[in-house]
Amino acid sequence: MDKKTMLIDKLIDVYQGEKDQIRVFASPGRVNLIGEHTDYNGGYVLPAALDMNSYVAVRPRNDRIIRMMATDLGYIVEVSLDDLEPAKKLKWGNYQAGVAHELMQHGYKLTGCDMICHDEVPLGSGLSSSAAIEVVTALALLGAADTKFGTCTDIDMVEIALIGQKSENNFVGVSCGIMDQFSSAMGKKDKVIFLDCKDLSYELIPLKMAGHKLVITNTNKKRSLGAVKYNERRSQCDLALAILKKDLPNINFLGEVSLEDFEKYGKNITDPILYKRARHVITEDYRVLLSVEALRKDDLTGFGELMNQSHDSLRDDYEVTGDELDALYEIALTIPGVLGSRMTGAGFGGCTVSLVKEDKIEDFTKVIKEQYKARIGYDCTVYTATIGDGGREL
């Protein structure tokens, strides 16, 4: 049975009533190819939407109540559009409530609704399950409220991404950047998104893999983005920026500092930790530009090398990898047919992405699974990534 039918049946099963007004929306997780921890520094990123989605089936109600249930949850959560504040404390449903809150802050008129939510993106794995939930929830809430809104082409998907990010910043309390929500809203099949987070200008670049595939390996180490460490990295960048601003008064982001200027003025950041954080961001930003050039020239070997440099910098300068991600990275680089590998997402657990020759994926999977288990003590999970479309109605 296809997802749409399954979710419509589930909605009727849980809430009873008629099928007529039910609509089903989907929005994906993402894999970031390169450009990590650059988004909130006004830098470049190179993510792509995955064909793993978060889904919502929705049916409007005549009151101001939102009822929601996840397919793997088994109980219904109820919130009122007129009093969303208490929903901040929900164990499940806080993301959805945050999106409703932020949509209304942006002037959207919402109505109550019944929702069934279904997630395919592994939660807390660094593949941006949260952004997928935020974007799909925004589409579903708008879809329930406005019967004229038929396809996702007549709404501003960049605004939807910003609303998703704001809801996570303000309602959930994670100071995430825009990369994940942008990828989930704006992704296109077989394209990577070359996004400048300073002004949200972007280009969709065809991903030509010439006999290679992106392989995602999940450490299966549970990590929460809410982790203080993410917000801590952000503040360290702000401190480094404030120091550089003394010599470069016109910059507003670390992403605006050239390698040459960093050579000249970087030494004024005397705290070694802050210096390393800034060095990661500034060199990583440059690696994104080099990666785009390499991909345009079909130079996968060059791109693979940049992936490795990115991981090294995230391990040594930004210090967000940890034993599990480093194990996956190190093992990957010993396997024939691997052109490059790196952690993807926030780090502290989560996934790596590796560029692997297609006919070597079987060997890759076998070796990485065996050696990771031997080294870390539990299993990793391997997926071959397919690049899919962004948020849409099914």
Residue ranges that bind ligand GLA, judged by CB under 6 A: 36-37, 39-40, 128, 176-177, 179-180, 345-346
- For residue 24, which of 37, 6, 36, 46 has the smallest C-alpha distance? 6
Residue 360 near residue 336 (C-beta atoms within 8 A): yes
Give whichever of 112 and 122 is closer to ligand GLA, judged by the CB atom.
Answer: 122
Shortest Cβ distance from residue 327 to ligand GLA (Å)? 20
Shortest Cβ distance from residue 87 to ligand GLA (Å)? 21
Shortest Cβ distance from residue 141 to ligand GLA (Å)? 21
Q: Which DSSP string corresponds to 256-267?
A: G--HHHHHHHGG
Give whichever of 110 and 176 is closer to ligand GLA, judged by the CB atom.
Answer: 176
| Phi and psi, residue 206, nearest 5° | -60, 135
Give whichever of 113 and 127 is closer to ligand GLA, judged by the CB atom.
Answer: 127
- Candidate list 39, 114, 119, 180, residue with the active-site label: 180
Catalytic residue flag (residue 119): no
CA–CA distance, 298 with 190 (Å, rounded to integer)? 15
4-11: list long-range contacts, CB under 8 Å, 24+ apart. 4/57, 4/394, 6/118, 7/55, 7/56, 7/57, 7/71, 7/116, 7/118, 8/57, 10/57, 10/71, 10/116, 10/118, 11/57, 11/59, 11/114, 11/115, 11/116
Cα pseudo-dihedral 237, 238, 241, 245, rounded to 10 = 180
Give whichever of 39 and 317 is closer to ligand GLA, judged by the CB atom.
Answer: 39
CA–CA distance, 279 with 287 (Å, rounded to integer)? 12
Shortest Cβ distance from residue 255 to ligand GLA (Å)? 12
At residue 235, what is the residue type?
A: S
Shortest Cβ distance from residue 149 to ligand GLA (Å)? 27
Using CA atoms, how far residue 216 sits from 10, 81, 187, in Å, is 31, 38, 18
Give whichever of 176 and 387 is closer to ligand GLA, judged by the CB atom.
Answer: 176
Give whichever of 28 and 143 is closer to ligand GLA, judged by the CB atom.
Answer: 28
Shortest Cβ distance from residue 228 to ligand GLA (Å)? 14
Tell me the catalytic residues: 180
